[in-house]
Structure formats: structure tokens, C-alpha cells
A and B are shown apart, each in its own frame.
Chain A
Amino acid sequence: MTVGGCLAAAAGVLLLLAFMGFSPGHILNLWYRGSLGSRYALADTLTKACPLLLTGLAAAVTFRAGVFNIGAQGQLLVGAALAVAMSTRWLPPDTSPLIGIPLCLLAGAMAGALWGLLASLLELLRRVPMVLSTILLNFAALYLVKILLHSFLQAHGTSAPQSSQVPRHFCLPILMKYTSLHAGLFLAAGIVLILEWLQTMTVFGFQTTAIGLNAAAAKLAGMPAAWRQVQVMLIGAGCAGLAGAMQILGVAHFMTAKIGNYGYAGIAVALLGRLDPLGVAVAALFFGALDAGAQRAEESSLGLPHETANVIKAIIILSMLLVGAWSLRRTLRSGLARTDEGEATGA
């Protein structure tokens, strides 16, 4: 996310807004006020960033090891469904929140991980391409959840496809009144730090990066490539499942099949964060701010259409990615040039 990217994005957005007859300055002001303009706006940004952070990590961790997990959406859905099942059906209502909340979160993460494991097993045992299986498993998860919401998970006394409400004592504590900012944010931040440590300070991290760069070479060097990729999938999919569970226990407190496209957005978050856990955290915050700001701009009397807000978000993200890719290429080129120079001097 460079200064160039910001400038390119801003120019694109201003042009589009002016072209559509809106006052660019006013819209950008609304956008800022909705995302970072007050502590409530910041809380909204953080709330929106939380699931994106976890699904971004789900993509980043796996992509880094060369595992193209496009299935975070499905993993998020099954994670959310299992958290709902645990909190509304399986756990006795008098269970202590100290046991109940961690159990529900764990159930969500485990469900996501197991859903991801299916794709890994399909690739390992039957050579089904990971991209294909994870995409298809997203649909399988969606329809499975729809079936559950019409049967086992359905709330009593309504024919609407939605779950019962999570008992209040199983909901994650809210950190600020009038917002949905919940304590799960700390857990997500902790996971970022753990993954950062795992990636930069451990043999596991080194091996997964090496496998991601060249799996064949890593195998030749004696690294357990297949096993590491399965482990990475379990971690990534677990993060996505946890995101689903957190959305249920922290924000919505009930479930419908329309949970939001956090799984797919996570891929863009991961790419913008350059597959680095800390970078993903910043990118998720940026996406959260974009979402929160768009909401304020949409609801204003100017009536910025939802589609326009989405186009603006897309322009900003594309500009960031393009300028990022361009600067990376320039860095690589200058690095290569320096190497050639060094070799020439040495010769």
C-alpha cells in the first residue's frame, strides 16, 4: 500500500464521482466520517475488519504455502453453523460462559478446519485441483447450511429460514455501547501475532514459505511438502471457521444463510497484505474502513447508490494492487541490476 497507490485510487475515485454528478469532496468527507471520524466510526471499522482479518489470514497462510484455498466462504459458513448448533442446541443452557464461549469458538474453528481438510484430502488422494474443490465446497456449504436452517437449526415458532437466538450468556462481550465491537477482536489480534511468529521465527514457517515458492525443490531438500500443506490448510480453514463463529457470537447472535461474502473478500485482503499476517491486519483494517465509510456515504441524503460505493471500493483496491505489483516489479528489477553489477565488478 504505497503513497502512489493511494494517489492513484484517490484520482480514480474523484474522477468517477465527478463524472456521476456527485460532489467528490463531500462524499470523501462522509466516507472519512463513517470510517475514522469518531470512536464509534472506528469501532464500526474494527467490527467490519474482524471477520475480514480472519478470512484474510485463511487465504494468506495457505497461499504462502502454495495451497490455493478459495473456500474460506464455505469454511466460514460451516464454522458459523456449528457455533450456532453448539450454543443453541447442544450446550445445556446453564453452562458457564467461561466454558460455553470458548467451546463454541473452538467448534466453529474445528468445523472450518475439517471442511478445509476435505479439499486437502481430495487433492492428496484423488488429485482433485484445490481451486476447484474449494470453490465447489463453498456451494456445498451454502446449501448444507440452508438445509440446516430449514430443519435442525431453525428457530421455533417461525417458518423463516433462520436459527434461534444465541443465549445471551454465550455471546461475546461488547466492548463499546451502541456498537457491535466485541471481545473477539483481541483473539483475532492474538492469532495475527501467533501466525507472524510462526511464519518468521520457526522452521515450520520457513518450510511453508519454501514449499510455496517451489514445492518440488522443497521436497528435494527433504521437506514434508504434502504434510505441511495439509497443516497449513487446517490452520487457514480453522481461521475462516473461527471468523464465522465470531460473527455469530459477537455480531449477529443468530444465523441466516446470508452471512456476507467475507470469505471471498478475504482473498483480496490477503493479496493486499502481501500474504504477511501483519500486512493482512492492515489490509483488513483498510477494507473495514472502506466498508464503514461506504455505509455512511450510502445512507446520506445524497443517496450514493450501493453499486457506486462498490465500484469505488473496487477502484481503490485495484489501484493499490496495481501500484503494489508495479513497485514490487521495480524493486526486483533494481535488485537484479545490482546483482549483475556486483557480478561484473567481481569479474
Chain B
Amino acid sequence: MAVLFKRFPMRVRYLTLLVVVLLMPLGGTIAQARNFRMAFICSGSITDGGWNQEGRDAAVKVAKTLHAKLSVLEHVTPIRASSIMRDFVRRHYGLIIGHGYEFLVPAAQTARMTSHTRFAISGADKVEPGVTTLNFDLTQPSYELGALAAMVSKTGKVGFIGGEAIPSVEACYKGFKAGARSINPHIRVAQAYTSWDQVGLSKTQAEAFIQQGVDVIYQNVDAASQGVFEAVKAANRHHGKHPVFVFGCNGNQNNNATCRRYTLASAVIRLDRAFMHVAKLAERGRLKAGIINETMANHVCVVVLNPILIGHVITPKMQRRLKLIQKHLLAAGIKGKH
């Protein structure tokens, strides 16, 4: 058979292969609806130790609680997202969670063609028809971290490193800066945007900040946070007397293996709470399109202090002040005086 096939010119062989491949799948059927199915898609790696990993873990937790079938897809580009979402719609998924603002437009495009699938997009700040937007407002926790940074800083210089200048990350910077200025109006707040996954880039940026005298760094760079942690660890090994501290973001990074003794606190999004809420509503068919603001007030966006630093680095006086700030934030928002 192979010998017979080889007798034909290359082009005929290619065409035959093409036709055979195209005829193979005739007769496929549409999947039938069964139990509640949910999908989670994100643009980064689900082992990034930050935003994507927290999201995936939260989705797994929710699926287990609701006994739902869960499909997880990582490294999804916005360009691919709409075709992936359409495929989930075709297979009668009840809820699609797009973990990042970049999935908002694809979700809105896909939502037009279905009434049975609900779409929840986390980390966006805009309303699109047919989509539930989960706006995680880390401004207030970042404000609290800014205040703590200003209390701890000896040099009067603090820094912020973000993965990309997108709305949710810029909100962190704004909150951090406002918080730091609320304690020390003359404090210098440096700002830089590097990458979500290039560890080397974030490390170099953190080193540059430290050389400029920055002694507290707030990072929101997901997988690249390892670079910041390494730079902080190295700085503390060399300088000793004036320690350099760092903050975690999105997930609780206080317990990171590299420099947990210098990680003051983390601004944490309790994604499991937020996802559980929308998943339960979607399961009952009651999830409405619109924006859900997840804030400090509903305990989704919170500050978690590093317990091993409480007492000596984060003194009881600082803690009292932070509690006061938190009260004011909850009562009057970020513009209230502390």
C-alpha cells in the first residue's frame, strides 16, 4: 500500500491526506447538558504563585463544593478566548469565569449567542452587556499597605512594581501612594511596570529601586514576584542594618520561601468567596449581568499581615494605627483623613 502511495507525485499525496483528514469527523454530535459545568480560563500560568494560581485554586474549591464539573484552561490569549468560550457554550457550560480584564470583550461577544451560559469576568472595571464583571478593588488594601510602608520606611522612599499598566494594577499604585502620603506627605513613591512572568526583569527593577534608596517595595507582578523576592533577600544579606521589606499581592505571599522574614504583608483577594457567590447564582440561573464591586467592606479584598513580623517589625502601635485607618477606610473611603 505504502509503495503504491509513493508512486504518486508529492502534491497528489498531500491532497489525498488533506481530503482524508477533512472527511474523518463527519457525523459528530452536540454534547448534551448534564450537571452544572463551569470553566475557568486565564491568560497566565496556573502555577504563577499569584493571580492565576489563586484564581484556579478558588475555582477548584468552588467546583468541589458545588459538585460541578470544572474545566481549566491557562495561557489563553484574548484572541483565542472567544472561540474557546463559544466551545464551552456549545457544550452547555453553566458558568465561564474569565480571569482578567482581557476576557471582557470576548465574553460580551459570546454572551450574545446564548441564554443558558453565564459569564463572570474578574479584574475588570467596565460593564458589558450579558457579562457579570467582578471588580476587585485593591485600592483600599493598597492604601493600608502604603500607610504601613511609610511607617516602616527609614529612607522615606518606597516603590511599586506592577506587571502591566492595566486598571487593576494602576489602582494598587494609586492606593499605595495615597496611603504612604497619608502618613508622610513628603515620602517618595517610585513606580515601574515590568512583566508578569519575567523574573529577571522584575529582579533588576527591584535592585534598581533598592540602589536608589527604596526600602519598602510593593509588587503586583504574579509569577515575576520571585525576582522581587530574590532582590530583597540579596539586599538584606548585604546591607543588614537597614532592612528592605516587600509586600505581596493578589494571593497571600507572606509565606514565600525566598524572603518571608522580610515580607511585611499581602493585599489578598479572597477569590473563593467571590467565585462561590457568582457560581451559586449561576447554578440557580440568577446571575445577572452588571458589575459586582468586591471590596474591603465585604471582606473579599483584605490585608493579611505577616504573623512572624508582628510584634517587632510591625509594632503594636503600628497595628493600632492600621486598625484605625481600616475603620476610616470602611467608613469614609480613601479620601477620609486618618
List chain A positions with a Cβ less than 8 A from chain B: 1, 3, 36-42, 44, 47, 150, 157-162, 165, 177-180, 196, 247, 251-254, 256, 258-260, 274, 276, 278-279, 281-282, 285, 289, 295, 298-301, 303, 306
Contacts and interface: CB of A to CB of B under 8 A. Distances in A.
B101 A260 contact: no
Contacts of A180: 82-83, 86
28 contacts: A3-B2, A37-B28, A158-B101, A159-B166, A160-B101, A160-B102, A160-B167, A165-B109, A177-B113, A178-B87, A178-B113, A180-B82, A247-B79, A251-B82, A251-B83, A253-B109, A256-B77, A259-B79, A278-B11, A281-B18, A282-B14, A282-B17, A298-B73, A299-B39, A299-B71, A300-B71, A301-B70, A306-B46
A158 B79 contact: no
Closest 4 pairs between A and B when the two form their complex, measured CB to CB: A38-B28, A180-B83, A178-B90, A299-B71
B74 A306 contact: yes
A223 B81 CA distance: 47
Given A36-B25, A295-B73, 7 more contacts: A38-B29, A39-B28, A161-B166, A196-B11, A256-B79, A258-B43, A301-B70
Given A40-B90, A299-B73, A158 B113 contact: no
Interface in B22-58: 22, 24-30, 39, 43, 45-46
B69 interface: yes
A63 B289 CA distance: 51
Contacts of B281: none
Contacts of A295: 73, 84
A3 B105 CA distance: 43
Interface string B65-97: 000011111110111111110110110000000
Contacts, number: 128
Interface residues of B, number: 53
Contacts of B15: 278
B25 A162 contact: no
B105 A165 contact: yes
B187 to A, nearest CB: 25
Given A41-B25, A178-B86, A258-B102, A252 B79 contact: yes
A4 B80 CA distance: 33
B272 interface: no
A282 B11 CA distance: 11
B257 interface: no
Given A39-B26, A40-B28, A252 B106 contact: yes
